[in-house]
Amino acid sequence: MEGINPRTPVLVGVGQLKHPIADLAESVEPIEMMLRATRLAEADTGVTLLDQVDSVRVVRGVWEYVNPAGWIAAQIGAGDAQTVGTLFGGNQNQALMNQTARDILAGNAELVLITGAENGYSAAKARKTGVTLPATETPGEPDVVFGHAQKSEHHDFEMAKGIRMAIQVYPMYENAIRHARGETMSGHLERVSSLWSRFNDVAQRNPTAWIDYNLTAEEIATPSPTNRAVSYPYPKLMNANNAVDMGAALIVTSVGKARELGIDESRFVYPHAGVEGQDHFSASVRDNFHTSPGIRLIGETLFELAGVAAADLDYVDLYSCFPSAVQVAAMELGLGEARDLTVTGGLTFNGGPLNNYVMHSIARMAELLRENPGTTGLVTANGGNLYKHAHGIYSASPPARDFEWRNVQPQIDALPGRTCVAEHDGEVTVESYAVMYGVDGPNVAHVACLTPDGARTWVNAEDPDLMLAMTREEFCGRAGNLSAQGLQLR
């Protein structure tokens, strides 16, 4: 490695922690978990270096800290470090890693700490008992808030029908995947629950996974008192698990600085390339519900920049908020579903600390790449309803050329989308749907319909017999009529 550019960015330290509690008195707030993960990441480097950090970067969470990066910088003796925050989104971790690699390569940063944490388990427990958890004051403002301009998570067309959560949208993608593949209801559920059970298998091999015990495909697929139906076809165990107390940290520097610090090169993990882009904004105007042109274009560009093919990847961690996100990404990236598609266990079983999940992906990926020199890994990150994307290629072997980054937004924007109309009276075809459950069973079906001229429109159906039928037989592709009296299907 004597000929390597000394500005080459390298990940030299990773730290992860999970903090399950039996009592709220044991709870630790997110910023303290960030600090603990930071100490673990420093220990992972094998040297003392935190007081030399020149940029502290914290991924935005649901917490209300104003300047967590500034507080952490003070705690580690790096009070003069640049402080950075991010916008909200599951894509932000990998996007921030891409930016950090670019900053180091360009000489705009030398030693960077990236961290984040959530205490979703403690917060849920506190809400149930009426307890207010303590929160440290973090005065001031970060020097920089990183992130490309982005829209809200849902389009006005969706919000007008009460569609404001991911769990109302991703099941529509899932049902559309089933229809596009020509699967039966039972065959589809069997395939998807088997896929998710293999994510659970990986979690059992991951020392920091939240759900680290065995769950069969049947247990994952079948609603029960501990696995309630949420939105057809997803029970709880096919949802991201946000009720976790978890933190992670990454330390990134240049090869030259790492050598100066005396970090053993067996700790080095190199980001080779990163690519980003956003699919057409949210569900209302994307061309269809079972593909992602953005992921396809990002993957093609990323593989070209890194000089690899899908078949060359030894490790993969696809963003896994719901099974539909994994299936779409696996198809668009040419990975298939036969191989392992996670290194952590995914957001259900590893745990999904909201925006910070991918920091755990990167940390776990680094551990595996170090254990197996010469291997290569892919990490993908997704924000919103499968529309904000950031991907990265990593290896313990140095890249053949300097880190490269691209944003493929112009290519994505040139692709066809879908017109959405607020109201429609007349013939329609059901594109997809999500049957939402309350405590007493189904309470509403959100239905995406296509008009004869190809526009999309949304309708809510609350007929109990129709909602039950939608969970038992295929309604995607069903023709009908939409009027002031509601949706009538043939």
pLDDT tens-digit series, residues 372-401: 999 999 999 999 999 999 999 999 999 999
Average pLDDT in the chain = 97
In 24-71, DSSP assigns E strands to: 55-58
pLDDT value at position 153?
74
Could you give the CA distance from residue 457 to residue 479 in angstroms, rounded to a whole number? 14
Quick one: tokens of 424?
Answer: 């429609």
Quick one: tokens of 201?
Answer: 């298998």
Could you give the CA distance from residue 393 to residue 452 in angstroms, rounded to a whole number? 43
Could you give the CA distance from residue 314 to residue 374 in angstroms, rounded to a whole number? 9
Q: What's the pLDDT tens digit per position in 444-477?
A: 999 999 999 999 999 999 999 999 999 999 999 9
pLDDT value at position 155?
84
pLDDT value at position 148?
67
Quick one: tokens of 98?
Answer: 């891409």
Residue 154 banded pLDDT, cuts 50, 70, 90 = confident
Q: What's the pLDDT tens digit per position in 89-144?
A: 999 999 999 999 999 999 999 999 999 999 999 999 999 999 999 999 999 999 99
Whether the CA torsion 196, 202, 206, 211 is positive or negative: it is: positive
Q: By C-alpha distance, which of 427, 415, 416, 414 is closest to 457?
A: 427
Strands 426-438 and 315-317 turn out to be unpaired
Q: By C-alpha distance, which of 446, 302, 455, 438 is closest to 379?
A: 302
Q: What's the pLDDT tens digit per position in 393-421?
A: 999 999 999 999 999 999 999 999 999 99
Could you give the CA distance from residue 33 to residue 476 in angstroms, rounded to a whole number? 45
Q: What's the pLDDT tens digit per position in 260-283?
A: 999 999 999 999 999 999 999 889
**CATH number 2.40.50.840 given to 426-489:** yes
Q: By C-alpha distance, which of 154, 156, 151 is closest to 421?
A: 156
Query: 331 Cβ partners below 8 Å, 6+ apart?
Result: 291
| For residue 150, pLDDT beyond 80 | no
Helix or strand (DSSP H, E) at 394: strand 388-395
Q: What is the dihedral of CA 194, 197, 198, 200, to 10 degrees?
A: 170
What is 232-265 written as a DSSP string? ETEEGGGS-----EEEEEEEEEEHHHHHHHT--G
| Residues 447, 171 contacting (CB under 8 angstroms) | no
Helical packing angle, 293-306 and 323-332, nearest 10°: 50
pLDDT value at position 263?
99
- 38-57 mean pLDDT: 99
pLDDT value at position 178?
99
- Domain 9-152+242-413 is in which class? alpha beta
Q: What's the pLDDT tens digit per position in 287-328?
A: 999 999 999 999 999 999 999 999 999 999 999 999 999 999
Establish how many alpha carbons lie within 13 A of residue 231's alpha carbon, considering only the half-sphere containing its beta carbon: 26
Domain regions of the chain by residue span: 9-152+242-413, 426-489
Q: What's the pLDDT tens digit per position in 116-130?
A: 999 999 999 999 999
Distance from the Cα of residue 161 to its chain's centroid: 25
Q: Which residues pair with 114 in a beta bridge?
A: 57, 250
pLDDT value at position 1?
58
- 211-226 mean pLDDT: 98
pLDDT value at position 281?
87
What is the pTM (predicted TM-score) of this model? 0.98
Q: Which residues pair with 253 in a beta bridge?
A: 10, 111
What is 102-148 written as a DSSP string? HHHHHTS-SEEEEEEEEEHHHHHHHHHHTPPPP-----S--SEEE--
Distance from the Cα of residue 404 to its chain's centroid: 22
| For residue 3, pLDDT beyond 90 | no
| Residues 54, 82 contacting (CB under 8 angstroms) | yes
